[in-house]
Amino acid sequence: MKHFYPFIFLLYCFSFFSCEEEAEGGFTLLTEEIVNVNGTRAIILGRILAFQNVAIQEHGFQFALTADFSDAIDVKLGERSRPGNFVGETELLLLGREYFVRGFAQTESGLIYGNVLSFFTLEPTVEKFFPATQFAGEIITVFGRGFESTSEVFFGDAKGQVIDVAFGSQIRVRVPPRLASVSVPVKVVTGAKVAFAERPFKYPTGTYELLDIRIDQIRFRNNIYFKQGSRFFVGLGIDFRSNFIPEIYSFTPGDNEWKPTGYPGEPKRKAIYSHTGFFGGGYKGFGTSAPYSEDFWKYENGEYQSIASPNFRFADGLGSEVSGKFLAMGGLLEVGSLVREFNPLLGNWNNLPNLPYDVTGDMLNFTYQNKLYIIDKEKILWEHDPSTASAVAKTVYPSPFIKTVSDFGGLAIVKGDKAYIGMYNSVREFWELDLKTFEWAAKNPFPGEIKAENTAIFEHEGQLYFLRSLQFADYTEFWRFDPDAF
């Protein structure tokens, strides 16, 4: 009985395809499947059904723009004696057209045709490209459909070098040198068809200027910095000879020097601080048993105001001001995920839920729209809402980290809806992060001396200012960065 089932199956197959033409040689020809259509290329599967060998002098497929197959494209596959599948392809199709296809077989008795299938070739379309900003000479990938091996990619009027085309849907292309504008349209030309990307490609921007206003005889390490109004503040910490710096200095754009502010508190290093004027904690000495500095401060209205100290010790942790409240987080003296909140209206500290990971003072953080953002040691940018204790991973910092080499010492600041992040230790890369879309865009790399430590960063009237303490010179450099200039 079990030998009877295959026979029934074959009878079923022949009855199902009885509408197909059967040759006198005892076989049935099927145009079975459109396997793939990609731009001007199509791959078709056919099948010869027979109980025995066949005598076919030529077989293949016909492609045509009309159902009567006038002016057809013949794809010939040669002689054949065995039944079974056969595959044919062509790259001679027109884009954006409907095609009809059928198999054929030539025998001594005549020409046999299979059933007719139809399909559409795709119009070339650009869906997106990545990254959205890239340096000339580097590679981006254009995603879409209907691409060909002959497709060309243009950046404005400049032609890019196509590296390869994969699956008709991805083009890797080398960015050409910029001709004029930093923002140019991207178009893919395939034959006579032109497809444009919806958004422009952008070349990296950003110019750096070394100001002739430096802080002589001081190189900061483990310091704090903040901004109030148009004034920049930097100080405390230690110098490169491990001497404590007892002062905080201020600078107002338009002046020509940094001036001491008369800080009345204890010298300290690795204090926690917001970028708005809250600071405190840290160490008063060195070593594993270094004494803790318990005083906390708020700079406001031109003076330093002492504030209450929290019950827990914070040193080499993170600080931030969110919704008008000072957050003290993590560090090396208590639980690394600990969070405490100082309410300046009530003058007291409150407990908040712990962070989902430990934080230390060498991690970057910033605030945007009353939310806290932290880049951890795995390069993940976390968004925290202190009011709900939620934590969401938003994106990943795009440059590589080398543990204990380039995973600390960076800069981060917000200007409008963009964050500017990078210049980690011994690294020149600087990035712009769109805080609406969380897309990264490379900025021009830092051109100055790499053997230095970042000391502070500020924003004023659309410009970024940062301090760098040089390793082999006894002063701190002062730089201005214009993110949009080129």
Q: What residue segments make up the domains of the chain, in order of their start?
A: 19-120, 125-202, 207-482
For residue 307, what are the β-bridge partners?
296
Beta-carbon count within 10 A of 75 CB: 20
Give me 23's structure tokens: 């040759």
Q: Cα separation of 323 and 340, whole Å?
A: 14
Q: Cα separation of 82 and 47, whole Å?
A: 11
Question: For position 122, what pLDDT does the model report?
Answer: 83
> Given 2.60.40.10, 1.10.3720.10, 3.90.1310.10, 3.20.20.70, which CATH number is that of 19-120?
2.60.40.10
Averages of pLDDT over runs of 10 residues in the chain (486 residues) are 39 40 72 89 94 93 95 95 95 89 94 95 92 96 91 96 92 96 95 93 97 94 97 97 96 94 97 98 92 97 96 96 96 93 96 93 96 96 90 95 90 98 96 97 96 97 97 94 96
* Class of the CATH domain delimited by 207-482: mainly beta
CB 294 within 8 A of CB 284: no
Q: What is the pTM of this model?
A: 0.81
Burial of 437 (0-12, 13-18, 19+ CB in 10 A): exposed
Q: Cα separation of 479 and 468, whole Å?
A: 8
Please state the φ and ψ torsions of residue 7, each to the nearest 5 degrees.
Answer: -65, -45
For residues 113-140, b (16+ Cβ closer than 10 Å) or e, as one string? ebbebebebbebbbeebebbbbeeeeeb
**414: DSSP letter:** E
Closest by Cα among 116, 92, 98 to 29: 116
Closest by Cα among 173, 117, 121 to 145: 121
Q: What is the CATH number of domain 125-202?
A: 2.60.40.10
14 three-state secondary structure: helix
303 three-state secondary structure: strand
Asked if 19-120 and 207-482 have one fold, the answer is no
Q: Cα separation of 264 and 297, whole Å?
A: 10
Give me 98's structure tokens: 């409907």
Q: Cα separation of 122 and 39, whole Å?
A: 6
Burial of 262 (0-12, 13-18, 19+ CB in 10 A): exposed
Residue 104: in which H helix or E strand, if any? strand 98-107
192 three-state secondary structure: coil
Closest by Cα among 149, 159, 147, 99 to 123: 147
Question: For position 24, what pLDDT does the model report?
Answer: 55
In the sheet that holds 224-228, the strands lie side by side as: 224-228, 231-235, 248-251, 259-260
